[in-house]
Structures are given as C-alpha cells and as structure tokens.
Amino acid sequence: MKNLIFAVTALMPLAACVTPDQTTPSVGMANPASVYCEGIGGRSMNHRSPDGSETGYCHLTNGEVVNEWDLFRAQSKGK
C-alpha cells in the first residue's frame, strides 16, 4: 500500500506537465485575382460547376463579366 501511495505521489507532478494538444488554426491567403478585381472596382463572385470545381468571375463596373484569373494575367503582362 505504501508503494502505491509513493508511486502515485511521485507521478502526480508529471501529470501536471502534460499540456493538451493545441492546434494552430490555418489562415488562408487571399486570392490575388479576387483582390485585383475588387481593387479596380469590380465585384468578385464564385461559380461552382456541377463537377464541384469553382471558378471566380469579376463583374466589372461597365457590366462586363470576365474570368478573374484571365483579367489578372492580362494586367500582369502589361507590366
């Protein structure tokens, strides 16, 4: 009985050292094409296809709707 009490007493400080598993929440980076669209006054909208894929479109102030990445790449080529 003394051995059991001694063992429990000796192991209790170790139990205090254990910390619960802490996960860091993942932070996503903004889509540069969406940021560019909104930066020029457009409205970014995503369209999900029946196959589950998603495409971003930029609704420009002149009423034109273009693929966000095509718009972004076009402005990048001009630099």
pLDDT, one tens digit per residue, over 5-54 is 655 566 666 666 666 667 766 678 899 999 999 999 999 999 999 999 99
Q: What is the pLDDT of residue 29?
A: 86
Q: What is the pLDDT of residue 22?
A: 72
Choose among 44, 43, 32, 45: nearest CA to 72.
Answer: 32
Which tokens sit at 28? 């996503």
Q: What is the pLDDT of residue 44?
A: 97
- Give yes or no for residue 66 having a pLDDT over 70: yes
The model's pTM is 0.60
- Give the Cα separation of 34 and 63 in Å (integer): 17
- The residue among 76 and 23 whose pLDDT is bigger is 76
Cα 61 to its chain centre, rounded Å, is 28
Cβ atoms of 60 and 48 within 8 Å: the answer is no
Residues forming beta bridges with residue 47, ordered by sequence position: 55
